[in-house]
Amino acid sequence: MNDILIRNGRVIDPASGLDECADVAIAKGRISRVGKAQAKAKHVIDAHGLVVCPGLIDLHVHCREPGHEEEETIATASAAAVAGGFTTILAMPNTHPPQDNETSIHYVLQRAREAALARVLPVGCITKGQEGKNLAELGLMTQAGAVAFTDDGLGVASASLMQRALQYSGMLSMPLMQHCQDPDLMTGVMNSGAVAVRLGLGGIAASGEQIMLRRDLELVERTGGHYHVQHVSSAGSVELLRQARQKGLDVSAEATPHHLLLTEAACSTYDPNYKMNPPLRSAADVDALRQGVLDGTIDCLATDHAPHSKEEKELEFALAPFGIIGLDCAVGLYAKALIETQLMDWPLMIARMTTGPAKVICNSKPELGRLTVGGIADVTIIDPQADWTVDVSAFASRARNCPYDGWRLPARAVVTIVDGQVKHSLLT
Amino acid sequence: MAKKASSSSRATDGPRLVWTRKDLLGLDDLGPEEIVHILDTAESFKEVSTRSIKKVPLLRGKVVALLFFEASTRTRMSFELAASRLSADTVQFTSSGSSVAKGETTLDTVRNIEAMGVDIFVIRHHQSGACHMLSRNVKASIVNAGDGQHEHPTQALLDIFTIRQRLKRVEGLKVAIVGDIAHSRVARSNILGLKKLGAEVVVVGPPTLVPATIEKMGCTISHNLDDVLGHVDVINMLRIQFERLGGNLFPSIREYSRLYGMNAQRLEQCKPNVLIMHPGPINRGVEITSEVADGPNSCILQQVTNGLAIRMAVLYLVSQV
């Protein structure tokens, strides 16, 4: 007998092209059937009117553990993930100390097992101590279970070091994720332009992102290896990526909810909840990013969930840290940016949250992001007409730095199943 | 031309504007009639400073806290005198030797002082937007005495007040602001205030000190001071900050002074009644020579005098809400 039967949902599996009303059965942590099943199960979920899809994957989450457990822990980030419909999250390595060796990778996996909520996959630093000077032990971290490498928060400034990192990660068949920002041009706290000038705040020009991206694409052309661009923020970067794909380079890219929804104008009140790195840019950039997600230039959606304490976000704009949280309400935010705007329908948006990110980590985790009979039973159920109001105080995340409080969103994850176990459910 | 609601006459005829703002964060928020209302209110306070007993009891029993997180001489003294002429009690604060030096946040510092019963905070802070952040979090009035590179509203108000006094109008005038526009809160507040009252503003300096997008604030840009001299009614010379030299924003003081400094030769190219302003402190011989700064076209000390009346007006108005 099956453990779980999800009946009558709109089953969307971008990997196989499936989009039809069907049932999904789960037994012993595996998908046992997809289609019309007269099967029996211990636990039946009526998914009429709901979307049933592979478990969502978020390539970009800051869990803050070890080092800043007062902001978030692996357990609370996992809780926020499953509350938001994510079955897999990648834990960024800019912790204290940074995740730059096999022991720290083991530690993340251990804490994730104890939390037993989402699948938390560790990402290792590219450079030791995230200092941008010497390569970290990419090989040993791969053996320990790291699924990608990045110095996120900082771009790798040295071109020669980046070249070596690409060669090395290419040998390991591991993706290298870059936070594209030339440090020499990191001269401000918000997008460079008329709004920054009026507010008297230092600007961060899109050229700082594009210069590093251009350089890296030159390197990738020479070295090969999988290169992934984190949180793309500018129209110019989207165009560079489009050209790189046309050349056939092995590149992937992600866009965040805030870069798909908000512009620099939001900074006008000096509210640090609109302070991001890369910064919120112009409406034209938002449009270009949405088009990039539509045509596949940007093949992944990722939250860049970045918890910070209340006191840090009460500081003056320039002193407050960058970043906001996003896991709990991401599905609704993406739907607001991409579906409510009639840019795309659910299958494409779900592809950007399942097959897209799964492809980035496919060499270490080949089974994720699909509904395959016999495959891992990571399943997310979404109410596409939830029409709910965000209440940040009710988030599972420990942090509250989120500008979407009080927003009405068109969709919401209602059930999250990881390894065949229901980890989150809003259904009675 | 039909006489518009002239900014030079006291708005005693017709309904007086009812002031509704608890805070003065910047001129960006104010409408033209609110700016004129402050100027007119200041006009009525000017006379107080000429009395033998320079005091009126309008703020008696009120507490004004002067919190200068960044160094200042004239603005702090001007606010202090303004408060005392209105009979308010004042408390002072400078960030060195305070708990800020021990790592207390700006918000905690201000909340603690507010708990002692303060009605108005006058804040000077090195961070743009600090006053906005505080106004969201405290109940007392906040008066911005300069926040980072954002705004310095009372400076612009006293500049406009002085222009109105000397040239009898603001609307239709052409005003040049010369110098480090990028880092200047005085420039931003002046651009906003002057535009709202119908003046034209041209900002002058090298592109490294004049961001191109400043045009979105409604001014035009020139990189050549000599081109604009003959066309303007007012020239406001900003102080050049020597600490900017390290950032390669301009090659040398010497070159800057030659390209953008105001001197007697340049004054000759100006309209005869051109008004020369400077928010101080002056680097004599750098952005302005002594003969210009101390000459008949200069109104630099008049600006300082008028600052007192403007600050009395602002303290009085926000205290009434």
Q: What value of ipTM does the predicted structure carry?
A: 0.88
The structural domains of chain B, ordered by start, are 9-150+305-319 (3.40.50.1370), 153-303 (3.40.50.1370)
Q: Do B149 and A200 touch (CB under 8 A)?
A: yes
pLDDT at residue number B242: 79
**For A203, which residue in chain B has the nearest alpha carbon?**
B211
The stretch B170-175 carries a mean pLDDT of 98
pLDDT at residue number B8: 43
Name the residue among A269, A314, A318 with its Cβ closest to that of B127: A318
Which of residues 319 through 358 in chain A touch B, CB cutoff 8 A?
319
Residues of chain B contacting residue A199, judged by C-beta atoms under 8 Å apart? 128-129, 150
Residue B287 CA to residue A38 CA, distance in Å, equals: 87
A186 touches chain B (CB under 8 A): no
Domain A55-360 has CATH 3.30.1330.10: no
- Per cent of chain B over pLDDT 70 is 93
Sheet containing B63-68, strands listed edge to edge, beginning at the edge strand earlier in sequence: B89-94, B63-68, B120-125, B141-147
Residue A321 CA to residue A338 CA, distance in Å, equals: 28
Residues of chain B that touch chain A, judged by Cβ-Cβ distance less than 8 Å:
28, 105-107, 125, 127-130, 132-133, 137, 147-151, 182, 185, 188, 211, 213-214, 216-217
pLDDT, greater one: A246 or B4: A246
pLDDT at residue number B5: 42
Name the residue among A197, A311, A317 with its Cβ closest to that of B129: A317
Name the residue among A193, A194, A317 with its Cβ closest to that of B128: A317
pLDDT at residue number B101: 63
Test mutation, A190, A198, A314, chain B, max B CBs within 10 A: A198
Closest CA to B76 of B39, B24, B124, B130: B124
Angle B249-B254-B259 from CA coordinates, rounded to 5°? 75
Residues of chain B contacting residue A314, judged by C-beta atoms under 8 Å apart? 105, 107, 133, 137
Distance from CA of B12 to the nearest CA of A (A): 34
A374 touches chain B (CB under 8 A): no
Name the residue among B28, B130, B213 with its Cβ closest to that of A197: B213
pLDDT, greater one: B285 or B96: B285
Q: Do B133 and A316 touch (CB under 8 A)?
A: yes
Residues of chain B contacting residue A273, judged by C-beta atoms under 8 Å apart? none
Name the residue among B125, B147, B217 with its Cβ closest to that of A198: B217
User: pLDDT averaged over chain B?
Assistant: 92
pLDDT of A199 strictly over 50: yes
pLDDT at residue number B21: 96
Question: Which amino acid makes up residue A102?
Answer: E
Q: Do B217 and A197 touch (CB under 8 A)?
A: yes
Task: Please say whether the dihedral angle defined by the alpha carbons of residues A99, A102, A106 and A112, taken in this order, is positive or negative.
Answer: positive
How many contacts does A have with B, using Cβ atoms within 8 A? 63
Q: Do A200 and B217 touch (CB under 8 A)?
A: no
Name the residue among A193, A269, A311 with its Cβ closest to that of B213: A193
Q: Do B125 and A201 touch (CB under 8 A)?
A: no
Residues of chain A contacting residue B125, judged by C-beta atoms under 8 Å apart? 316
Residues of chain A contacting residue B150, judged by C-beta atoms under 8 Å apart? 199-201
Residue B142 confidence class, pLDDT cut points 50, 70, 90: very high
A311 touches chain B (CB under 8 A): yes
Helix, coil or strand: residue A245: helix
- The CA distances from residue A99 to A94, A139, A180, B13, in Å, are 7, 14, 20, 72
Distance from CA of A97 to the nearest CA of B (A): 24
Domain boundaries of chain A, sorted by first residue? 2-52+376-425, 55-360
Name the residue among A193, A314, A316 with its Cβ closest to that of B129: A316
Distance from CA of B318 to the nearest CA of A (A): 21
Test mutation, B28, B147, B149, chain A, max A CBs within 10 A: B149
| A186-192, Cβ contacts within 8 angstroms, sequence gap of 24 or more | A188/A279, A189/A275, A189/A279, A189/A317, A189/A318, A190/A264, A190/A267, A190/A274, A190/A275, A190/A279, A190/A280, A190/A317, A191/A264, A191/A267, A191/A279, A191/A280, A191/A281, A191/A282
In whole angstroms, what separates CA A93 from the centre of its chain? 14
Closest CA to B234 of B312, B311, B307, B167: B167
In whole angstroms, what separates CA A304 from the centre of its chain? 6
Catalytic residues of A: 304
pLDDT tens, residue by residue, A410-422: 999 999 999 999 9
Residue A399 confidence class, pLDDT cut points 50, 70, 90: very high
Strands A148-150 and A119-124, sheet pairing? parallel
A187 neighbors A202 (Cβ within 8 angstroms): yes
Distance from CA of A198 to the nearest CA of B (A): 7
pLDDT at residue number B6: 43
pLDDT of B205 strictly over 60: yes
pLDDT tens, residue by residue, A102-150: 999 999 999 999 999 999 999 999 999 999 999 999 999 999 999 999 9
Domain A2-52+376-425 has CATH 2.30.40.10: yes
Distance from CA of B24 to the nearest CA of A (A): 14
pLDDT at residue number B48: 87
B260 neighbors B287 (Cβ within 8 angstroms): yes
- The CA distances from residue B285 to A258, B83, B179, B218, B257, in Å, are 50, 34, 14, 31, 8
A317 touches chain B (CB under 8 A): yes
A235 neighbors A211 (Cβ within 8 angstroms): no
Token pair, residue B270, equals: 């100006």
Q: Do A314 and B149 touch (CB under 8 A)?
A: no
pLDDT of A269 strictly over 80: yes
The stretch A325-329 carries a mean pLDDT of 97
A393 neighbors A96 (Cβ within 8 angstroms): no
